[in-house]
Amino acid sequence: MPFTLVTVTVVISLVLIVVKIYSKLTTGWDRSYTCLVGKTVVITGANTGIGFYTALDLSMRGARVILACRNREKAEDARQKIIKITGNPNVVVKLFDATSFDSVRAFAKDFNETEERLDILVNNAGMGTKDTPKTSDGCNLVMQVNYYSSFLLTHLLINKLKASAPSRVVNVSSILHKIANLDPEDLDRYPDKRPFSYLVAYGNSKLGNVCFTVELARRLKGTGVTVNALHPGLILTKIFDEAEGIQKFLLATLASICFKTPVEGAQTSIYLSVSPEVQNVSGEYFVDCAKETLGKKITLYDFRKKIWENTENRVCLSREEKIIYE
């Protein structure tokens, strides 16, 4: 019996070590030396996790970096850290709460009135929850934070992006878009209550994200604005703080062994934001700084069109704000 226990422990440890080594060896790194002096960047959810390290890197390259965050205090802390580490004082906090379309509109209005240009927009803010609440706009919370608000923000900033071209939009999605069960006619519908249905709900928002990326790229052809989506990897951040009980224990154990760090998790966002290798690439999905094949559904125009049009309605775009394929 003790022998079996020892064997099992050794086998599990070996498997975990192999996973760890594999995860380290396959992490993609941005190796470019792109200078961003004179460029302006917006990163949503930049006060912590992947967004923070993306902001840190782009600040290091000399950009004017706008931290679009919902909590001023946390964002100020992040701003001070970034300035201290990079020596770049051109880091600014602007309030942005993805649970409210009014807040997204207020952010965009202020940005458009006060900023001269926009070279890189990183739609990074995201969350997951086991609950199924509605926002004050009457939307599924996870859909609104992870997808609708990025869709709306990008529409409201598109003229600045076009005027600053070549410019880039980077959408932080997730591999969980592959388990989505999104109804294009009823985007807000929560999946039926089953164990792990909250992961499907999260996947739905991230599928929305990837479809948005592909369709936006089509509509922006010839404008000099590119748009790509990514999965950052499994990254140890506070996004997993919601887990409880045994799930929390398993996550904590797994995370400490095989999850990547937030610095590693930021690499594909940074790569898509600055690498010359992808300056003319648009409408693609990346993992570890490498292009991956899009799922079949995402390539279907009718599927994307339905999602696009229903999202336009959800975020209440005016006719002038819509991005029309020309």
- Which residues are at the interface with ligand NAP (CB under 6 A)? 44-45, 47-51, 69-71, 74, 96-99, 124-127, 145-146, 172, 174, 231-232, 234-235, 237-239
Q: Where are the alpha helices (DSSP H) in the chain?
A: 2-26, 49-60, 72-86, 101-114, 141-143, 149-163, 197-219, 245-258, 262-265, 267-274, 301-314
CB 227 within 8 A of CB 173: no
What does DSSP assign to residue 273?
Answer: H
Cβ 232 to ligand NAP, closest distance in Å? 5
Cβ 242 to ligand NAP, closest distance in Å? 10
CB 304 within 8 A of CB 211: yes
Of 66, 15, 20, nearest to 43 by C-alpha is 66
Residue type, 257: I
CB 203 within 8 A of CB 141: no
CB of 24 or CB of 305, closer to ligand NAP: 24
Neighbour count for residue 257 (Cβ, 10 Å): 14
Cβ 38 to ligand NAP, closest distance in Å? 26
- The one catalytic residue in 53, 148, 198, 202 is 202
Cis omega (within 30 of 0) on the bond before 2? no
Helix axes 49-60, 72-86, angle to 10 degrees: 40
CA separation for the pair 207, 123 (Å, rounded): 14
CA separation for the pair 52, 169 (Å, rounded): 17
CB of 126 or CB of 184, closer to ligand NAP: 126
Q: Phi, psi at residue 325, to the nearest 5°?
A: -75, 120
What does DSSP assign to residue 69?
Answer: E
CB of 145 or CB of 274, closer to ligand NAP: 145
CB 230 within 8 A of CB 50: no
CB of 178 or CB of 305, closer to ligand NAP: 178
What are the residues facing 286 on neighbouring strands?
Answer: 230, 291
Q: Would you call 202 a catalytic residue per the annotation?
A: yes
Q: Phi, psi at residue 42, to the nearest 5°?
A: -115, 130
CB of 161 or CB of 236, closer to ligand NAP: 236
Cβ 272 to ligand NAP, closest distance in Å? 13
Cβ 173 to ligand NAP, closest distance in Å? 7
Tokens found for residue 136: 């004050």
Cβ 100 to ligand NAP, closest distance in Å? 8
| Residues acting as catalytic residues | 202
